[in-house]
Structure 1
Amino acid sequence: MTIVTNSRASDHRPDHHASAGTPHYRGSGMGRQVLVLSGRSLRALGDPALIVPGLLEPILMLTVFSQVFKSVAQASSFPAGVSYIDYLLPAFLISSAVSAGLKSGVALTTELGNGIIARFHAMPIRSASILIGRNIADTALSGVNLLVMLTAGALVFGFDPAGGLLGTAGALLIAVMLSWSLGWVFMAMAGWLRRPEAMQPIGGIVNLVLMFASNAFVPVDSLPGWLRAFASVNPMSHAISAARDLTLGEGGFSSVLAPCGLCAVIVLVSAPLAVRSFRRAG
């Protein structure tokens, strides 16, 4: 009798007792693992106490900011013929996408702390499958939240951009791609920080600084010089500009291709780092 051991069961090499010549159990394929784990993450979010606040938060923020900053539309630097809600909503799509990416990291740190991940490591499950499943579920939920925001914007706030349905769909695609890519960035951070109480404030500060030091609420030309310089290089400003140009009918195919390509590059860099930090954390 031979005992085959390996400390990394999560890497698809479980410990099993087997006779010589007997094939070892390798578990299900990676595609099946991702499908099951994605479904598990979505079912875990089935509690209305978790879903409803996530749906209401961006709508409440949109209500407040659309009223507080409404007078900005009267400034000379504001685009002529554009209502403030048409200007603001694309920025909220991008900001909500960043927040959704952060939630992936927070959820992962929570599961690292409550023992769920340790149980997964004792099963024939690949580390990458766990992270991909988490990311797919969170990106899907983010897409639903963004659709709810757009629907509320159209029905309640009068969102009716010149770019029409096609331009709005392009802006939505950019936001979903951003949520998907930043989910990997924050999951890489989660494997390093390991605690939600550390992950939440760091991600929140990053989102807050990037959003308010950008062109989300007012044109960059309206900002003080030092803030204008930062907003001009702020990656959130560029994502907002791409989404806004599409909704306002001023952007073309390149407005979608460039940010989506950048998101793909972010994933190519951050996904291996996320898997590596996740294995160490487990």
Structure 2
Amino acid sequence: MRSTLAKPNADHQYKNYTGLGQTVRNSLTMAYRGLLKIKRTPEQLFDVTFQPILFTLMFTYIFGGAISGNVQNYLPVIIPGILVQTVITTSIVTGVQLREDMDKGVFDRFKSLPIARIAPLAGALLADTIRYTIATVLTFIMGYIMGYRPEGGLLYVAISGVLVIACSWAISWIFAFFGVIARNASSVQGISIIVLFPLTFLSNAFVPVNTMPDWLQWVVNVNPISHLVTAVRDLTNAGTVGGDLAFSLIGAGVIVAIFAPLTVRAYMRRT
């Protein structure tokens, strides 16, 4: 006689893997997977190791004398700018690698595992904070080697680093969204560069705002990157906390509030 026992469906089979605690554990496991990928292919860190060094050297010695009279006077201006520019640019990799994993079928394999569906996405975003940290530390080290001595002290330097990492993590949600909806990894990188490069270069990261035309000053002053750069300069060079820090944190929160749900919704549809 045929058994009357019902075969468990997929929803029943995986219902125990959708709790908050399990989701956090799965996300941390996926973040560890991301770190293992870096360990096995260390060339993934070229952008966060060589870029801070090259950009700091080039911008400092090319623009230092013209803008501030000498390199020493320019370092308090350029190091916070290079820090913000480098770390935020690094967040593009989040969307590119996410798209590559989806194209290779990695996420299809994850769907067959008894893990929270959101874990691969959350884990990728968590793992990339290590990249941001490396870029932050190397930028300050390079600045120190060149003679930069932040008057704000080590504590405020650390706070500025955490601020930049937090804002970069928030911005990475934008590029993660591009990674989910784009057709291939190259299009993710192209779209991200088009969005990000005008924001970083049309800011106060490299030159004083008062040297620009009036119409461009208005653009620079409303640019959120400029507020982040100013907040970092206040922290590192003076040890002060101003309105730009609050504006940067609020802006980061708004980005996450908008793009996190959009990214998760698009990701759930694709996977």
Give yes or no for TM over 0.5.
Answer: yes
1:105 counterpart residue number: 95
TM-score, structure 2 as length reference: 0.88
Please, what is the CA RMSD of the aligned residues?
2.2
Identity of aligned residues (%): 28
Do the aligned residues in 1 keep the contact of 2:34 with 2:127 (CA within 8 Å)? yes
Distance of aligned partners of 1:274 and 1:66 in 2 relative to their CA distance in 1, 3 Å threshold: same
State whether structure 2 residue 144 is matched by structure 1 residue 154: yes
Q: 2:69 aligns with which of 74, 85, 102?
A: 74
Do the aligned residues in 2 keep the contact of 1:192 with 1:277 (CA within 8 Å)? yes
Aligned-partner Cα distance in 2 for 1:73–1:35: 45
State whether structure 2 residue 6 is matched by structure 1 residue 2: yes
CA positional deviation for 1:234:
1.0
Distance of aligned partners of 1:256 and 1:226 in 2 relative to their CA distance in 1, 3 Å threshold: closer
Q: 2:24 aligns with which of 22, 27, 31?
A: 31
Which amino acid in structure 1 is aligned with residue 125 of structure 2? Answer: N
State whether structure 2 residue 45 is matched by structure 1 residue 51: yes
* 5+ long unaligned stretches in structure 1: 7-12, 17-23, 76-81
* 5+ long unaligned stretches in structure 2: none
Do the aligned residues in 1 keep the contact of 2:231 with 2:242 (CA within 8 Å)? no
State whether structure 2 residue 54 is matched by structure 1 residue 60: yes
Which amino acid in structure 2 is aligned with residue 115 of structure 1? Answer: G
CA positional deviation for 1:142:
1.0
Do the aligned residues in 2 keep the contact of 1:66 with 1:84 (CA within 8 Å)? yes
1:42 counterpart residue number: 35
Aligned-partner Cα distance in 1 for 2:257–2:144: 35
CA positional deviation for 1:57:
1.4
CA positional deviation for 1:200:
0.4
Q: What stretches of structure 1 move > 4 A for 4+ residues in a row?
A: none
Do the aligned residues in 1 keep the contact of 2:151 with 2:236 (CA within 8 Å)? yes
Which amino acid in structure 1 is aligned with residue 163 of structure 2? Answer: I
Do the aligned residues in 2 keep the contact of 1:94 with 1:178 (CA within 8 Å)? no
Structure that is richer in helix per residue: 2
Aligned-partner Cα distance in 2 for 1:193–1:100: 19
The DSSP-based 3-state class of the residue aligned with 2:7 is strand
Do the aligned residues in 2 keep the contact of 1:143 with 1:176 (CA within 8 Å)? yes
Which amino acid in structure 1 is aligned with residue 142 of structure 2? Answer: A
Distance of aligned partners of 1:130 and 1:178 in 2 relative to their CA distance in 1, 3 Å threshold: same
The DSSP-based 3-state class of the residue aligned with 1:56 is helix
The DSSP-based 3-state class of the residue aligned with 1:45 is helix
CA positional deviation for 1:257:
4.1
Aligned-partner Cα distance in 2 for 1:218–1:269: 31
Which amino acid in structure 1 is aligned with residue 121 of structure 2? Answer: L
Moved more, 249-258 or 225-234: 249-258
TM-score, structure 1 as length reference: 0.85
CA positional deviation for 1:208:
1.5
Do the aligned residues in 1 keep the contact of 2:132 with 2:168 (CA within 8 Å)? yes
1:170 counterpart residue number: 159
**Deviation string for 1:98-148 (max 9, x for gaps)?**
112211111101111111011112222223222211111001221122112
Do the aligned residues in 2 keep the contact of 1:163 with 1:247 (CA within 8 Å)? yes
Distance of aligned partners of 1:243 and 1:26 in 2 relative to their CA distance in 1, 3 Å threshold: closer
Aligned-partner Cα distance in 2 for 1:45–1:153: 26
Do the aligned residues in 2 keep the contact of 1:142 with 1:176 (CA within 8 Å)? yes
1:222 counterpart residue number: 211
> Number of residues paired by the alignment?
262
Distance of aligned partners of 1:191 and 1:52 in 2 relative to their CA distance in 1, 3 Å threshold: closer
Q: 1:86 aligns with which of 76, 83, 88?
A: 76
**Deviation string for 1:40-93 (max 9, x for gaps)?**
011111122222443111210111111111120139xxxxxx821111111111
Q: 1:243 aligns with which of 232, 235, 245?
A: 232
